A and B are shown apart, each in its own frame.
Chain A
Amino acid sequence: MSIRLERIAKHFGNTQALEPINLDIQEGELVGLLGPSGSGKTTLLRIIAGLESADRSPTPGKIIFGDRDVTNVHVRDRRIGFVFQHYALFRHMSVYDNVAFGLTVMAKKHRPSSGEIRARVFRLLEMVQLQHLANRLPAQLSGGQQQRVSLARALAVKPDVLLLDEPFGALDAKVRQDLRRWLRRLHEELNFTSVFVTHDQEEALELSDRVVVMSNGRIEQIDTPDKLYRSPKNRFVFEFLGDVNHLEGRVQNGVLTCGDAHLNVELPDGDEELLLRPHEVRLTEQPSAESHLPVTITAISPVGAEVRVELEADWLAKPWLATVRHADFERLEMRRGQRLFAHPRQWHRFKDTSPQPSEQTHVA
């Protein structure tokens, strides 16, 4: 079922948690709400669920599921499934009773027979691979198992939309990876519309069909993960979607200078800030005609496909991060304390003042 939000805003007292937001989510889509804490993503999700109400003034917003206006429909009747960050399982009930809860509280005329409830609960438990734990209490399960129970519980009532609030936030990295893959598969199998909240960019990019990037109660950009990463609309999105190195300085006659570092750029005179991803930094033993950026290696992490190197220098306010191929790492015999020269492969520049998307990428 598709979800449509029109002019949804929210104030808590005098603070504005959400600026008026419009959002369209297609049927069967898996959409991630991504943003730092305090960006309003959880508030938005809770408003979609009906656990929180949107502002009624100055103009009331609208929430539409399919062709059903649910703005004033109570959460109990919205036909949603909600998965909480800390599972919120009923602690005094067995796994079976937890999953069956939504079915047993239905009005008598809609409620399935007890045999049917039993069959449906076991089908769900099988789907989340927990049928052997049906009689356990939640406290006797691991975090990952509890989250699977809470997902089965939400799906038991066949919701129109599934909403997940930081579903994997409280789990360790390995379990998170497994559950993510598993949710993706489940989503493809059952094809429900889902919205999930996360502050983890990797999770959002890996899992979502489209990602909604939020900050300060505003939507910054809505795009597919690929587009989002390759063409961020503004500086916030660029910075939030990965590690960023900053180079601030003053441009004069086509040279950006910052302390004893300088770089040739084709920019008009004035103060500039250039941004670089870690993989856009190349390291050599010598400066070049275009750039003179002396740095010192302060930390090395050789784990993974590439070596991550931390760089510091007098002219840098914050250390840089560079990723280097293992071959280059060995060729340059990198070690802590070593002095090298950085060269930007390419850099990005955003003009914060202009309302238009204003990314400028320069390939060196």
Chain B
Amino acid sequence: MRRIGDAPSVRRLLIGAALLLSALFLLLPLVAIFAQAFSQGMAVFWANVSNTFTLHAIGLTLIIALLTIPICLVFGVALAWLVTRFSFPGRRILQTLIDIPFAVSPVVAGLIYLLLYGRNGWIGGWLDTHDIQLMFAWPGILMVTIFVTCPFVARELIPLMQAQGSREEEAAVTLGASGWTIFRRITLPNIRWALLYGIILTNARAVGEFGAVSVVSGAIRGRTNTLPLHLEQLYQDYNAVGAFASASLLALIALLTLAAKAGLEWRASRREALL
């Protein structure tokens, strides 16, 4: 049977266009990153990557990501639990508030944090008198990264938990299970794939965040420079190979993340096929 738009010529045209555009806009830049990074040989690449400042940027980026993920995880699960399992005044507003980080430009988010927590800011002034510095230091970077990434886990969980409803949890409580047992043995297993997916997205964004971080970090080499900021600096310094070496590291992390995501989707589809 032939469906509308299924003529061989139309099909070939559409597939060709999709492949061409994907190659042009997605694949080619990716290849270019690695080509540029290795353009002057392995030794130069290695020298750039093992540079103290680069190593520090890698370390800082990974630490920020490692701190962000558990915080966003707890926040996301708690929030999703709250809005899907309880009804209270303001629940809808809360659900809308979750999306603010998606709606606001990261640069604006960074500026707001600077305004609030910077030395002349509302809270920053008080902090300054107590000798606590958040802006232009790693805590500031962590704060804006959390701001930018906090919706991911909740956004993955809410539709799923809404669809699943609370019947299974109610069944568990009638059977005598405590709150923690219900969460561990009923809720968590039902949301684990969405949870992992949320973590992957959070990680990808935390590692790659540029706009908000660039405002609050001050980009001090060897102190508050994350990998994306370091990359930009190298590029501004006309060190193309160095910049692309860092870019290739970021791209590598992105590729690993994508592979993990594809792996999870493959496992999930296999589980469904089993049922």
Contact = CB atoms under 8 A, between A and B. Distances in A.
A binds B: yes
Contacts of B176: 76-77, 102, 105-106, 157
A274 B275 CA distance: 56
Given A76-B178, A137-B275, A139-B275, A90 B168 contact: yes
Interface of A: 49, 51, 75-77, 80-82, 84, 86, 88-92, 101-102, 105-106, 137, 139-140, 150, 153-154, 156-157
Contacts of B167: 84, 86, 88
Contact of B172 (A49, A90, A150): A90
B181 interface: yes
B265 interface: no
Nearest to B170: A51
Q: Which 8 A-B residue pairings sit nearest by Cβ, starting from the closest? A: A102-B175, A88-B167, A82-B174, A88-B171, A105-B177, A139-B275, A92-B189, A76-B176
Most buried by A among B175, B178, B185: B175
B257 interface: no
A80 B168 CA distance: 16
B173 interface: yes
Contacts of A90: 168, 171-172, 185-186
Contacts of A92: 189-190
Interface in B189-244: 189-190
Contacts of B181: 105
A150 B175 CA distance: 11
B187 to A, nearest CB: 11
Contact of B190 (A51, A84, A91): A91
B172 A84 contact: no
A140 B171 contact: no
A73 B241 CA distance: 70
Contact of A51 (B168, B174, B185, B186): B174
A76 B173 contact: yes
A101 B177 contact: yes
B185 to A, nearest CB: 8
A119 B178 CA distance: 24
B175 A157 contact: yes
Contacts of B170: 51, 82, 84, 88
A156 B175 CA distance: 9
A77 B175 CA distance: 9
B271 to A, nearest CB: 10
B175 A101 contact: yes
Contacts of B178: 76, 105
A150 B170 CA distance: 13
A181 to B, nearest CB: 25
Given A89-B168, A101-B175, A105-B175, 20 more contacts: A49-B174, A75-B173, A76-B174, A80-B174, A82-B174, A84-B167, A84-B171, A88-B168, A90-B171, A90-B172, A91-B168, A92-B190, A101-B185, A105-B176, A105-B185, A140-B275, A153-B175, A156-B175, A157-B175, A157-B176
Contacts of A80: 174
B275 A154 contact: no
Contacts of A101: 172, 175, 177, 185
Nearest to B171: A88
A43 B189 CA distance: 29
Contacts of A51: 170, 173-174
Most buried by B among A86, A89, A92, A154: A92
A258 to B, nearest CB: 50
A76 B168 contact: no
